[in-house]
Amino acid sequence: MADLCYMELNLMQIFDVLRSADFVRLALCGGDGAYVAPMAFQLEVRGGTAVVHMASPARGRKIDMLRRCAQVCIEAELPGCGWLDTVLLEGRAVIGAEEAGGVRVSVPAEHLTGRRYFLPG
């Protein structure tokens, strides 16, 4: 198997991935194990800090797990020609007030990293 090569992304490249991605993957953990859910999202930048907002039903496995453990990881990716940009955002999810059976889940970035993986040729 060929070695996988990568380079670290700078903050501007990380924001470009988050602005361009169609969805993110929300990784949760709880007493009954781990769970990953693809989610539509909106990106907000507050004073240089990325905040990811997602809509979710007010009840269900995701919300139950978030209430037990709010620490989450969000993954976004953007493919290029011969590479794959990947961003990981770690933070504490905040569940908003219920409206019409749904809630807004916001995750301000506590830790934000990005890498460009070069695909073996």
Q: Are 17 and 9 in contact (CB under 8 A)?
A: yes
CATH of the domain at 17: 2.30.110.10
Give phi and psi for 65, each to the nearest 5: -70, -40
Q: Are 18 and 31 in contact (CB under 8 A)?
A: no
pTM of the model: 0.91
What pLDDT, on the 0 to 100 scale, is given for residue 2? 58
Please tell me the distance from the alpha carbon of residue 70 to that of residue 94, in angstroms, as a whole number: 7
Domain count, the chain: 1
10-residue stretch averages of pLDDT, the chain, 121 residues long: 82 96 95 91 92 96 94 97 96 95 96 93 67
Please tell me the distance from the alpha carbon of residue 6 to that of residue 67, in angstroms, as a whole number: 36
- What range does the domain containing 83 cover? 5-118
What stretches of 9-50 show up as alpha helix (H) in DSSP?
11-20
What pLDDT, on the 0 to 100 scale, is given for residue 119? 78
Please tell me the distance from the alpha carbon of residue 119 to that of residue 92, in angstroms, as a whole number: 32
